[in-house]
Every structure is written in C-alpha cells, then in structure tokens.
Chain A
C-alpha cells in the first residue's frame, strides 16, 4: 500500500534502457478482467529464479498480490526485446524496466479510477489491486478498469518507481514460482514439448570438426519406418520421422550410410598455452575501470602512499627491490548442461515464415541469426522461449533451434522437435575458452606491490548468434563450408570485457600494466561460459596475491587488506575470514584454508570466499564460506541459491573439469570422460549476505566463480605447501607440482 503522492520529477529522469528500446506499455503488461496482471519480459528463466525476482518487483510497483502476477515466457512476437539473459544483469536492467513500466501502468489505472469514481486524488491508494481513497466508500480495481485503460501507449517517464522502503515483496525470500511444477514432474521443459502433429528430427553430425561429407546414400534410410524426410544440405545431414524412436534409428542408419573425410586439425591439448600465446591475437589494453567504489574512508594503514587507488605513482618502480612472476592456466571447460540441447520449429505451409521454440538466452538475436542464415526477413521468424536445464552461458540451445529449422523446412506445416545426444552436447556445444595468464609484480622491502604487470591469453568469450557478422549457428557452418565461424569475440569493456573481465586488480597498486590477448584462431569453438574470463583472471590474481603474501612472510588476509581501500570490499573479505575459520589455519594436519576475493566486473557483486580443504591423496573441499554484497537484495534466498550453486560449480571446475581432445576431435563425450563434482564431493556451503538496502541491486549469478577457484587453490597450497597453477587441481597435478 502506498499513498498516491508520488514524486513527479520536474524533468523526467532517463528511462531504463529496456523501456527506451520497447517503449509501449502494452508490450510489457496486460491487465486481465479478473485482476491478474500478465508481465512479459525479455529475460528468460534458466533456473536462476529471475522470473520470480521480476514478479516481486512488478507486484510492488503495482500494489498487487504476488499471486496476481503472471510471468509470461519471452517471445519475439509478443514481448519486449531485452537482449541476452547474461552477464548477471537481469535484476539490474530488466528490474529497472519492469519497475518503470509497472509504475506507469499503476498511475494510469489510478488516474482512471480518480476520474471515473471521483476519488480524492490526495488520498487515493492501491492495495492488493483495489483502488480507493481515504473515505473508502467508492472503490474499484485493476480488473474492473482493465478494459477502460489503454496500455497501448508509450512510457513517459513522468512517474517514478516507488521508494524502495515501501516494498512489500522485494527483500523477501519468496519461493520460486517454477519449482512446484519441477518437483512434481509436470511437463515444463522444452524436451517435454508435444506440439500438435509433432515430428522428431535427429542430426547426424560430422565425426570431427573438420570432417567433410564425401558421400551418403540416403535411399535406404528414406524407406525406414516412419521416416518423413532425409535432409542433406552441404555437410548438414539429418532425418525427420514420426516418433522419436524412429528418428533415432533412422539417424543411426544414416550415420552408417555416410562417408566422411577427416583431418587432424586440432592443436596439442597438452600445449594449449603455447597455442594461445603464439598468436595471432588482438591486443586489449585494460584501463582503470575508474569506478572502484566510493572514496576510501579507511585507507590501508600500512600504505599511506597508496590511498589514492588507480593513480600512477611515478616513483613506484624505482623503489622495487624484488620481482616475482607466475603463470596460471585453465583448460577448455564444457557447459555440460544436464539436459541435451533441444529445439523445435514449424514452417508455414508456403515456406515463407517459421516459428521456433528454443531455450536460447537471446531469442531475438537467435531469430535475426536464423533470418541471416536463410536470407529471410527477421519478421518471418518468431521465436518463443521454453525452459531447459541450466545452461551457464551459451551452450547448444541456439544451434539445436537452427537444426530444427533446417529439418522442419522439409516438412512445411509440421513441427519438428530436435533433441541432441549427450555426446553432441559435450562435444559440439561451444566451450569456455582455455586461458593462460602471466603476472609479474615488483615489491618493496616489505613485500607491498609497487608494480603489477599482467597478460592474459584466450580465445574470445562470445560467439552468440549473429556475432561478427555471421549467423554463428553450428549447422550453418556445416551447410556452407566456405563460411567457417569467425574467431569468437569479446564483449566491449563497458560490458565487462571477456578475456580481460576482472583482469584489473581491485588493490591499490601504484603502477600497473594489464593486457589481454584474444586469439584470432580457434582451437575449439568457444563462447560465453559463466563469468567469462573472470574465472581465470581472479584465480590468477588471487593465487598470486597469496604467493606474494607468503614471499613477504605476511598473513594473506592482512596482506590484502593492507592494499585494499574499497570499504565494501574490505568488509566482505574480513567477514569471510572471520566466519570461515581463518584463525584455525595451521592447527590441523593436511587441512588448509584459503581466501579468494573479487568484485565481479569491477562494478557488480562483491564476493569473498574462505575455503577449507583436506588434502591427502585427493583434494576434498570440506567447507566454503562466502560473504556477498549485491547491494539491495530482491530475494535473499534466491541470491543465496545462486551463490551456493556458483560456488559448487566453480569447485567442480577447479578440481575436476577439462575438455579432452586429440588432434582430430573432442574425446570427452560422456560423464565418465568429463566428470563433474558428485554429491559425495560437494562441500558444506555457508552464504552470508551483507545487507545494503540503499545500494543498487546487482546480479549474483557469476560472482562466486573466480573467488571460489582462488580460495580452493590457496587452501590446497596452505595444506600441502605446493602451488598448483594449472587447473584442474587433480592428484596428478599436485604430484607434478611437488
């Protein structure tokens, strides 16, 4: 409830970007006669709980019960275009748009109620969707006015969203809206889709990335039971059949009928660092992000000369008494979604338009890329989002959708549902790039950093549909071998960068030189994986900080705090040390403690991790304590769930994961060759949120990745006095480092 005396800005503040791009209110909101409010957003549910958080924001702005809000799945035909669901930006960006739109909708309904019922404009209120004034004798509701208020108009910015302290839903651990279906096994995922007249498609992929199709005899396959079409388009090969089993069997027969020419084109898996460093590469200088938080109120006590972070101290280099250097790396990592990618498509009978169902993180971009690949106008392709399992970045979702589009073209009017195999998912979906980072620091007599030099090499971290002027869809490259995929690119610095994400250390080093090097050739196809380059950069920076502290004979937490000015950073770091048992360090044999910290993308969530590990023959992470500052928390349990999950996943990356390949193909094609963390290996995870109600909300989804890796690596070093700088930290790697 709130009194209708909203602040009306004399000059309207700028509208949120999502509203500028999609100004018509009706694109976002429909009020039904029964009082329910349908909210359409451009963001998609990936298991991260975003629709629940956005529903909370909408309910608050509209002053309706949360149960009155219905969140619609994203659709290019019906909903706003909000770009990708990525980068931990959904709460900040889509949240701002939803608040603005709902505030304007509420104002329109209130104005209609005042005019219609002669309510007192000074005391009119909205409560649970009912609109009345102080007298209370006349009242109406969203539902009653639904047909009188025309939302087909543009947002004006004349109304501001509610002050945050008036929130009823925001800040509460509202249960996820999607979980009841998932816990009871109801159909909900794209894999469960059963469209009227649905056929099933399967793709026969080449046996290796460079393989070309020499010949295929499709005649026998066409005669198999249920087969409706065999599609060959260049080196793209697939079948369409009635029934999933018929499609599977026909695909097996088709694979046997195809002859391919293969080449050993992949680099040496064991020397991927050299491949990345040898170039050619695009050099990316990393400037001071320039907004490392508010001015320090508590400058590092032992470092008065460094209290002005980020400003060069020209004399610093001259005071260097010692230089240290180290190199860190990670291998290619798979998204390894639990569900193989899936898509469905149906062409119009006349073949001029196609409807697509996809779990893409960017349905609008996917629609445009499909249009580009098939030379169709974008308005001839509509894409609807349907949930799948968590993707953690750009997995095979878009590719599977395009597979369905290509196969369905052979059977106009009939929907075709395509599901990848586990092998396809682990070998053909884009990977997170292998990376290597080299860091050198010059320190003074106390071991304090004076100069910092950092280079990081990587393939690009973005190859989303439409990138670099290409459709960026797997099957498109197989259809047309003269159109190979360009090397993956990186988001711009203002988007957080890719290779260089979090390459700028937050500490108060007087002099630093930081460069990224994005490879312009491709070992394995790469695209965005949760946190992009930040995982490796934070792992490298925070591992090296520990190495510097040990070289200086300093406590690693105190060493960091002495060179850290940002008060929010200091708070999460020292709280993690305190709650995570830092003081128990060194008291138990074979048990180690390690800290890792970063502020995601330099302006996102602060996250510090304290890892407790036991290392005898194998490394076992016993406990992770995470302290997180995401500003104003929309849904505390939702944030905690994201942080816990990120920490467990990052532990898996750090200890176990590595895409394997020989000179021909990726060889890690199942859960035995690409193992991930199991229930018996999962640590206890404790998450503590720092409450900052006055700060802007930032996303939580990627904040834990890098700090967790560093904390685990530092804890292993503490337990064994051995530093492993190349991930994953396996028993073999530890032995090799001894």
Chain B
C-alpha cells in the first residue's frame, strides 16, 4: 500500500516507499534510519522532532510524507559539514548546553536556521526563535548562551570582531566547560544489542 516518494534528505536525493499519510518523522526514523529527530508528543507542540523543511524549522511529527515530497529536509545529522560539526553543535559542547539531550536535536536545527538568517543574534532573539521548543531539564540558559556564542564564533571566523561571553558562567571555581577535554567512553548503546 506504500507509494514511492522522492525527497532530499541532508543533501542526498532519497526515494522512500511509504504511505502518503506517514509522518515525516516516521519516515526519517524508521525508513531512513535517521534517529536524530525524536518523538516527543506527536502534536507538534514540544519541538523534539523538528527538522528543516526547505530551510525552515518544522515539526516532522506533524508533516505527512506527501507534503514533504520533492522538498529539502535537513535533520540534526545533516548539520555537520562532513566531520566538522556545525558551529552551533560545537557551541553546545563548549557550553555543555544540555542535560538529558532529548530535546537537543530539534533545538539545534531551529538554532541553525536562526543563525542562517541572523548570524549574530542576541539572547532575546534566540529565546524567541526557540520558543516552540520545550526543555524539561531546564538547560535553556545554557542553550541560549551557546547559540549566541555560535553566532559570535562564526563572526570571529569570518574576521569580524565580537566579544565572547564567559563560557564558564559566573560561578566561582569555574573551569571553562569543554577545555578540560578528556574523552572517556560511555558504553551505553553498545551493550544494548546482543553480541
């Protein structure tokens, strides 16, 4: 009963066979095996499933496949340029701007869209742009700081001058997050599948 649809996902033209009414989120996760967009509510109210549709943030849980056909879809997996993370992904790591991270995929794509349009947003612009996203852990303060930082980093990279925010926050005894890099592994998902 499935039909064939063509869409561009993270720069690649993909043909998918699925029902016309399947949600874009289902197609991404279950057909194309891109698990970055998350299911949160199924009603377009939480932002966990957001992707860029022709460059604009959209809730993929609420977009039927037929309406995505022929369009360009960018998921969180498509933000990086090869092995080089998108500046906003880099800034999220530098600011340690997450707790559980479930909402992060959607927030990152919305932030990337914002930065494409407003390369150096201020905090209130960022908060307004992310207002369709919920974060239950309360990491919003860091996320806003990270997006502002990503804008400044891009500006720095293009030769403009910008003042950086203090990455370590205002606390005493702060080590700037992200610089004490030691990268131990967490073998979390590897134990899941039988060996």
> Which residue of chain B has its CB nearest to the CB of A78?
B191
- Establish whether residues A679 and B93, one from each chain, have CB atoms under 8 Å apart when the complex forms: no
Contact B136 A184 (CB under 8 A): no
Those of A219-263 within 8 Å (CB) of chain B = 225, 243-245
Whether A392 and B136, one on each chain, are in contact in the complex, defined by CB atoms closer than 8 angstroms, is: yes
Is the beta-carbon distance between B127 and A679 smaller than 8 angstroms? yes
- The interface residues of chain A lying within 8 Å CB-to-CB of B48 are 338-339
Q: Is B187 within 8 A of A641, CB to CB?
A: no
Known: A386-B192, A679-B140, A680-B127. A172 touches B180 (CB 8 A): yes
Q: B134-168, CB under 8 A of A: which get 1 and which 0?
A: 11111111111000000000000000000000001
B192 touches A175 (CB 8 A): no
Assess whether A73 is in contact with B40, with CB atoms less than 8 Å apart.
no
Contact A183/B181 with A38-B187, A337-B136, A644-B139 known, Cβ cut-off 8 Å:
no
B177 lies within 8 A of A175 (CB)? yes
A118 within 8 Å of B by Cβ? no
Complex contact B193–A47 (CB within 8 A): no
A285 to chain B, nearest CB (A): 35
Closest partner residue, chain B, to A579 (CB atom): B170
Chain B contacts of A130 at CB under 8 A?
none
From 95 to 123 in chain B, residues with beta carbon under 8 angstroms from any chain A beta carbon are 96, 98-105, 108
Q: Is the CB of B130 within 8 A of A679?
A: yes
Taken together as a complex, chains A and B put the C-alpha atoms of A75 and B195 apart, in Å, by 15
A177 contacts B184, C-beta separation under 8 Å: yes
CB of B173 within 8 Å of the partner chain:
yes
Q: How far is the CB of B135 from chain A (nearest CB, A)?
A: 7
| Known contacts A175-B96, A676-B136; A689/B173 CB under 8 A | yes
CB-CB < 8 A to B108: which residues of A?
A: 183, 185
Whether the pair A184, B96 counts as a contact (CB closer than 8 A) is no
- By a CB distance below 8 angstroms, the chain A residues around B45 are 670-672
CB of B184 within 8 A of CB of A633, answer no
CB-CB under 8 A from B105, the residues of chain A are: 182, 185
Interface string of A673-690 (1 = CB under 8 A from B): 000111110101111111
Contacts A196-B194, A646-B138; A175 near B184 (Cβ below 8 A): no
Closest to A225 in B: B1
- Asked if B80 is an interface residue, CB under 8 A from chain A, the answer is yes
Q: Known A72-B191, A185-B76, A687-B170; judge A67-B92 contact (CB<8 A).
A: no
Q: Which residues from chain B contact A225 at a C-beta distance below 8 Å? A: 1
Within 8 Å by CB of A684, from B30, B136, B141, B192, lies: B141
Q: Which of A174, A189, A225, A357 has the most CB of B within 10 A?
A: A174
Given contacts A177-B186, A178-B101, contact A389 B136 (CB under 8 A): yes
Contact B101 A671 (CB under 8 A): no
Q: Are A682 and B141 in contact (CB under 8 A)?
A: yes
Contact A339 B38 (CB under 8 A): yes
Tell me whether A48 is interfacial, beta carbon within 8 Å.
yes
Chain A residue nearest to B26 (CB atoms) is: A245
Please give me the residue from chain A that is nearest to B104 by CB atom. A182
Residue of A nearest to B89 (CB): A183
A95 CB to closest chain B CB, in angstroms?
A: 16
Closest to B75 in A: A185
Taking a contact as CB atoms under 8 Å apart, the answer to whether A47 and B184 are in contact is no
Residues on the A chain within 8 Å of B181, using CB: 175
A186 sits at the interface (CB 8 A): yes
Q: Give bound CA distance, A670 to B45, whole Å.
A: 8
When chains A and B are docked, how far (Å) is the Cα of A178 from the Cα of B139?
15
- Cα–Cα, bound, A509→B99 (Å): 39
Q: Interface 1/0s, chain B 27-55, versus A by CB < 8 A? A: 00110011111111111011010000000
B189→A386 contact, CB < 8 A: yes
Q: How far is the CA of A680 from the CA of B135 in the complex (A)?
A: 12
Chain B residues with CB below 8 A from A38, complex form: 187
Q: Is A169 located at the chain interface by the 8 A CB criterion? A: yes
Q: Is the CB of A179 within 8 A of B93?
A: yes
Which residues in chain B, 61-96, are within 8 Å of chain A measured between CB atoms?
75-77, 80, 85, 89, 92-93, 96
How far is it, in angstroms, between the C-alpha of A29 and the C-alpha of B59 when the chains are bound?
Answer: 43
Tell me which of B101, B144, B192 contacts A179 (CB under 8 A): B101
Which residues of the other chain, B, contact A71 by a CB distance below 8 angstroms? 184-188
CB <8 Å contact, A644 and B142: yes
Q: Write the chain B residue with the least CB distance to A65.
A: B182
**B8, CB-defined interface residue at 8 Å:** no
B12 within 8 Å of A by Cβ? Answer: no
In the complex, are the beta carbons of A644 and B43 less than 8 A apart?
no
Least distance between A423 CB and chain B CB atoms (Å) = 9
With known contacts A172-B175, A637-B174, A680–B192 Cβ distance under 8 A: no
A225 and B1 CA atoms in complex are apart in Å by 10
Q: Which residues of chain A from 332 to 356 have a CB within 8 Å of any chain B CB?
A: 336-340
Decide: B136 and A649 in contact? CB cutoff 8 A: yes
Query: Does B137 contact A645, Cβ atoms closer than 8 Å?
Result: yes
CA distance A456 to B188 in the complex (A): 41
State in angstroms the CA–CA spacing of A169 and B139 once bound together: 24
Question: When the two chains form their complex, are residues A185 and B182 in contact, meaning their CB atoms are under 8 A apart?
Answer: no
When distances are taken between beta carbons in the complex, the residues of chain B under 8 Å from A340 are 39-40
B134 & A185 in contact (Cβ 8 Å cutoff)? no
Q: Residue A648 at the B interface, CB < 8 A?
A: yes
Report which of B128, B136, B192 forms a contact with A338, defined as CB distance below 8 A.
B136
Query: CB-CB < 8 A to A337: which residues of B?
Result: 136
Residue in B closest to A633 when the chains form the complex, CB atoms = B173
In the complex, which residues 374-398 of chain A have their Cβ closer than 8 Å to any Cβ of chain B? 384, 386-390, 392
A515 at the interface (CB under 8 A from B): no
Query: A689 is contacted by which of B46, B133, B135, B172 (Cβ under 8 Å)?
Result: B172
**Would you give the shortest CB distance from A268 to chain B, in whole angstroms?**
28
Q: Write out the residue numbers on chain A whose beta carbons fall within 8 Å of the beta carbon of B142.
A: 641, 644
B176 interfacial by beta-carbon distance below 8 Å: yes
Closest to A36 in B: B185
Which of A174, A419, A670, A682 is within 8 Å of B127, CB to CB? A682
Q: How far is the CB of B109 from chain A (nearest CB, A)?
A: 9
Which B residues are in CB contact (< 8 Å) with A55?
184, 186
Confirm or deny: B3 has a beta carbon within 8 angstroms of a beta carbon on chain A. no
A549 is an interface residue with CB less than 8 A from chain B: no
Which one, A69, A386, A390, contacts B99 given CB within 8 A? A390
Assembly CA distance A67 to B142 (angstroms): 25
Q: A47 and B174 in contact (CB under 8 A), knowing A186-B36, A389-B102? A: no
A618 at the interface (CB under 8 A from B): no
A22 touches B (CB below 8 Å): no
Residues of B close to A647: CB separation below 8 A: 138
- Contact flags (1/0) for A182-205 with B, using CB distance below 8 Å? 111111110111111000000000
| Closest chain B residue to A645, Cβ basis | B138
Contacts of B43 in A (CB 8 A): 422, 670-671
Q: Does A173 contact B (CB under 8 A)?
A: yes
Residues of A within 8 A of B189 (CB): 181, 187-188, 192, 386
Which listed residue (B75, B98, B131, B137) contacts A183, Cβ 8 A? B98
Q: Would you call A69 and B171 a contact (CB within 8 A)? A: no
CB–CB A70/B184 < 8 A: yes
Name which residue of chain B comes closest to A651, CB basis: B138
- CB neighbours (8 Å) of A245 from chain B are 19, 22, 26, 30
Residues of A within 8 A of B141 (CB): 644, 648, 682, 684-685
When the two chains form their complex, are residues B100 and A338 in contact, meaning their CB atoms are under 8 A apart? yes
A176 to B183, CA, bound (A): 9
CB of B137 within 8 A of CB of A70, answer: no
CB of B172 to closest CB in A, whole Å? 6
In the complex, per-residue mask of A33-76: 1 if CB is within 8 Å of any chain B CB, else 0: 00010100000011111011001000100000111111111010
Q: How far is the CB of A150 from chain B (nearest CB, A)?
A: 22
Inter-subunit contact A189/B184 (CB<8 Å): no
Given contacts A177-B186, A679-B127, contact A688 B177 (CB under 8 A): no
Task: Say yes or no: A72 contacts B182, CB within 8 Å.
Answer: no
- Which 3 pairs of residues, A with B, have the shortest CB-CB distance? A185-B36, A47-B100, A648-B138
Besides A339-B100, A690-B172, 8 other CB < 8 A contacts? A52-B184, A71-B184, A173-B96, A338-B135, A338-B136, A641-B142, A679-B133, A688-B171
Instruction: Please name 11 pairs of A and B residues whose Cβ atoms are closer than 8 Å in the assembled complex, sorted by A.
Output: A47-B99, A52-B184, A182-B102, A184-B85, A245-B26, A422-B46, A670-B45, A672-B45, A682-B140, A688-B170, A689-B172
